[in-house]
Amino acid sequence: MELKTRHLIFVYGTLKRGFTNWHRYLGVAESHGAAHFVGAAQTVDAFPMVVRPPQMAPTTCAPVMMDLAGTGSRVLGEMYRVDDRTLEALDILEGVKSGAYYKRTVAALVLEEERREAEPPPEKRRRTEPADWLVGQTLSCTAYFFPASEQLLALELRACYTADQHALYTPKAINEQILALCKPASRADADATHGLATRQPKPMATLLLRLLPGDDLLGGLRAFAAAHGVEAAVVLSCVGSTATTTLRPAGVKAPKVLPGDKFEIVSLTGTVSASAHHLHLSVSDADCAVRGGHLLEGCVVRTTAEIALGVVEGVSFSRPHDPRTGYDELSIDEV
């Protein structure tokens, strides 16, 4: 099976999280799994970046970065991995397709610990910083460069586009063509949105966790994954017991609380990331009767839960909506 192409894109202006064009376009693509935040990034080379004043056309007060390596400062921004449709949407937004404004050029970027200027709302927040193994790595990434001019180079050169500068931005009307490209609309688009396999074997590291009596099994596991910046993991093993046990049986929307207060964990299996999970739990009662279903919050650890997680390096798990099934399904994406 041939996987759909994914592109690394560096954004440094109005497409950064919390800013106007992130809310309008890139954040929409992110919510559908068509774009994934990789991490905060900084250019290896210095480039001149300026914010156009209101009197300079186009009069949006947007930032521009010019392709003059060695001039200005190393520019701070964010790196995303996007699919073909989202790249096309960004090309339209930046005027690449019309040839009017920006051009796409490959630049070297270093992944960094995050330096946020704008905080995304909780429902849009995917992760706060790149995985430890990515920090400090240099990646080749596509960036949008504006044509240099003496008029632009005479403006104050900046290293980072901030929220205060963005407050001056005057956006154009929402472009429905761009917005449509950020949303999967067909089976073919769903294929582009969902990565279905890795192209080659990936190394795996191991994280170990023990939850204590009274801990919520799902809540504790999710908090652990978030604290360690886990992008893709599988449950290798889990042994322990539960008291109150809450599951969702197959084909049933409502949670089911199992009667009784002493259950042995027979198995816990599934996938986990800092932003999503899909886990099934089986437990047995005093008569050795086994019941199982989707793990929900409300499964309380009785004595212990000893968990081994296999963390897959170079892979990110997300769960965008898949119109083929009607559910949020796993997307396996190489980073």
Instruction: State the catalytic residues.
Output: 94
What is each CA distance from 277 to 224, 225, 231, 294, 317, in whole angstroms? 12, 10, 11, 10, 9
Alpha-carbon Rg for the chain, nearest whole angstrom, is 23
Q: What is the DSSP string of 195-236?
A: ----SS---EEEEEEEE-TT-BHHHHHHHHHHHTT-SSEEEE
Q: Which two tokens stand for residue 109?
A: 């970027």
Question: Which DSSP helix (H) or strand (E) runs through 263?
Answer: strand 263-272
Q: What does the alpha-carbon distance between residue 282 and residue 298 come to, in Å, rounded to a whole number?
A: 14
Instruction: Assign 314 to helix, strand or coil.
Output: coil
Please name which of 93, 82, 91 lies closest in space to residue 34, comparing C-alpha atoms. 82
